[in-house]
Amino acid sequence: MVGVEVHLASWWAQFLEHSDRFDRAYLVEGLGDLVTPHISAPLLRREVQLATDTVVGYLERPANEERAERARDAVERLGETLQRIEERSAGAAIAIDQAAIMLTALRGDYGEAAAKAERLVGSVKLRRLFVTALRLERFDIPMTLRLLEGGQSPGEAVRSGHLLGRYSWWPSWLLRIVTERALAGKLDEETVEALDTCAYAELSPIQANLARKLLTSGDQRLINTAAERLASLGEADAAARLREGDIAAVALAARLTSL
Q: How confident is the model at residue 214, as a pLDDT?
A: 77
Segments in the chain below pLDDT 50:
2
* pLDDT of 122: 94
**125, 145 Cβ separation under 8 angstroms:** no
Q: What is the pTM of this model?
A: 0.75
- pLDDT given for residue 72 in this prediction: 97
Q: What is the pLDDT of residue 3?
A: 52
Angle between helical axes of 248-257 and 236-243 (0-180°, round to 10): 120
Taking the C-alpha atoms of residue 251 and residue 233, their distance in angstroms, rounded to an integer, is 15
155 to 22, 30, 108, 131, 152: CA distances (angstroms): 14, 21, 20, 11, 8
Q: Which among 233, 238, 194 has a CA at the least distance from the CA of 215?
A: 194
For residues 186 and 208, give the distance between their C-alpha atoms in angstroms, rounded to a whole number: 21
- For residues 110 and 9, the answer to whether their CB atoms sit within 8 Å is no
Cβ within 8 Å of residue 217, ≥6 positions away? none
What CA–CA distance (Å, rounded) separates 29 from 198?
A: 43
- Could you tell me how many residues make up the chain? 259
CA 121 to chain centre: 18
Cβ burial of 3 (10 Å; 0-12, 13-18, 19+) is exposed
Contact 164, 178 (CB under 8 A): yes
| Calpha distance 235→122 (Å, rounded) | 55
Mean pLDDT, the chain, rounded, equals: 86
- List the chain domain ranges: 9-135, 159-257
- Interacting residues of 198 by C-beta distance below 8 A, sequence separation 6+: 174, 211, 215, 247, 250, 251, 254
103 vs 207: CA distance, rounded Å: 58
